[in-house]
Amino acid sequence: MEEITIVVVDDHPLFRQGVINTLSLEPGFKIVGKASNGAEALTMIRTLHPHIAVVDINLPGMNGQQVTHQVVQDKLSTRIVLLTAYDDHEQIIHAAWAGAAAYCTKDIDPAQLVQTVKEVVNGKFVIENRVF
């Protein structure tokens, strides 16, 4: 099986590096880029065409939902896993409307994040640790 390529987007360097470190430990996962804002993320996704982008919802400038919407509008193959500090049902609905493949809170267990990425790359949707 080919490597699963991933871009990680978060404006908090420590959290972003933690996600990168977690995902880098998984065999078959390859981090191909990191970004700290939505515009940078979108450029990176368009250039690198990763399988997955793990994107914080609250980003400076273009937020994670706007990035997701643009990726879907552009018919890019990258699937988006949105991360948020807020467990809010209204945000879940907006994430789904934007086209996110997964919605996770930032208190997610590292092993669960790895599993979410695996589910999403296989065409599934993950909302609050439930797979659809």
Cβ-contact 54, 78 below 8 angstroms? no
| Residues sharing a CB contact under 8 Å with residue 88, sequence separation 6 or more, in sequence order | none
Note the pTM of the prediction, 2 decimals: 0.96
* Residue 1 binned pLDDT confidence (cut-offs 50, 70, 90): low
3-state secondary structure of 100: coil
pLDDT for res 129: 85
For the chain, first and last CA: distance in Å? 23
Domains present along the chain, CATH in parentheses: 4-131 (3.40.50.2300)
The rounded distance, in Å, linking the Cα atoms of 90 and 98 is: 12
Each residue's pLDDT tens digit, 50-107: 999 999 999 999 999 999 999 999 999 999 999 999 878 888 999 999 999 999 999 9
